Amino acid sequence: MIGRLNHVAIAVPDLAAAADQYRNTLGATVRAPQDEPDHGVTVVFIELPNTKIELLYPLGDNSPIKGFLDKNPSGGIHHMCFEVEDILAARDTLKAQGARVLGDGEPKIGAHGKPVLFLHPKDFNGCLIELEQV
Amino acid sequence: MIGRLNHVAIAVPDLAAAADQYRNTLGATVRAPQDEPDHGVTVVFIELPNTKIELLYPLGDNSPIKGFLDKNPSGGIHHMCFEVEDILAARDTLKAQGARVLGDGEPKIGAHGKPVLFLHPKDFNGCLIELEQV
């Protein structure tokens, strides 16, 4: 069911510093920041040859990243995103096997303009998993 | 400097259950477990089309994963590994910019039989980063 690893998302306490570090210290290709008000984050994508790193920084008062950064002030790996061909079929298969989908269970439009869902970390070895339909 | 994302490593509290979940629930290609006594872990590689997930489980009494699982009993994302062409050049460049290398600073031979180093999470947004020379 799962295909490519679309990205690994890292919540960071200083977006400019983190972007600068990936660009200048680690020598990666770093894109411009983009605000995602619907998701409560500003994101910076880092393009690796085979996948992406997504730097996440809170945007607005109700950002879903804020609690994570309160608990992890240095930042940390927040989630990983797997691509699926059919997100509704994937969701139904996972739910039938007891996995919990976060929110109301309906796909939202993610940072790439494609439908996404998040799976409950407690059902997946403590890892927050995003599924993105490609 | 950094190239491909070689793998994302996940520490898991039950290796057989996690491997079964990736194989049967998530439908991925899952390899046989391999013991890595030099690293204090048993690993299961999950092959995605563009990268790998590495499931980690403690092996022996001094496993470096044990403390992580004590703090995160459900498991969690433990580190991510970036490929580099020249690990000594990468290390020296990073150290010159103030990044700390874990251990004695000399590369060890990793689970793929290639030289690896780990960078201090506090210097990289709370993320443990492994560099692997390819």
- Does residue A77 contact residue A9 with C-beta atoms inside 8 Å? yes
Are B124 and A3 a contacting pair at CB < 8 A?
Answer: no
Exposure pattern of B100-112 as b/e (b: 16+ CB <10 Å)? ebeeeeebeebbb
> Looking at the complex, does the CB of residue B10 fall below 8 Å from at least one CB of chain A?
yes
More confident residue, B111 or B117: B117
Residue with tokens 């992406």: A52
* Cross-chain CB nearest to A8 (options B8, B124, B126): B8
Helix (H, G, I), strand (E, B) or coil at A100: coil
- When pLDDT is cut at 50, 70 and 90, the band that residue B110 belongs to is confident
What's the pLDDT tens digit per position in A8-23?
Answer: 999 999 999 999 999 9
Q: Give the model's pLDDT for residue B113.
A: 87
Number of CB pairs, chain A paired with chain B, less than 8 A apart: 107
* CA neighbor of B46 nearest in space, from B32, B63, B65, B25: B32
B38/chain A closest Cα distance in angstroms: 24
Return the percentage of chain B with pLDDT > 90, whole number.
94
The catalytic residue positions of A are: 130
Give the span between the Cα atoms of B27 and B23, in whole angstroms: 5
Task: Name the residue ranges covered by the structural domains of chain A.
Answer: 5-133
> Looking at the complex, does the CB of residue A68 fall below 8 Å from at least one CB of chain B?
no
Question: Which spans in chain A are helix H?
Answer: 15-20, 66-71, 87-96
CB atoms within 10 A of CB A127: 24
Residue A26 has pLDDT above 90, yes or no: yes
Return the percentage of chain B with pLDDT > 70, whole number.
100
> Which CATH architecture does the domain made up of A5-133 adopt?
Roll (3.10)
* Cross-chain CB nearest to A25 (options B5, B13, B97): B97
Long-range (24+ apart) CB contacts under 8 A made by B19-25 are B19/B44, B19/B46, B19/B55, B21/A124, B21/A125, B22/B46, B22/B53, B22/B55, B25/A93, B25/A94, B25/A97, B25/A99
- Does residue A48 contact residue B2 with C-beta atoms inside 8 Å? yes
What's the pLDDT tens digit per position in B12-49?
Answer: 999 999 999 999 999 999 999 999 998 899 999 999 99
Q: What chain B residue is nearest to A20 in terms of C-alpha separation?
A: B124
| Interface predicted TM-score (ipTM) | 0.95
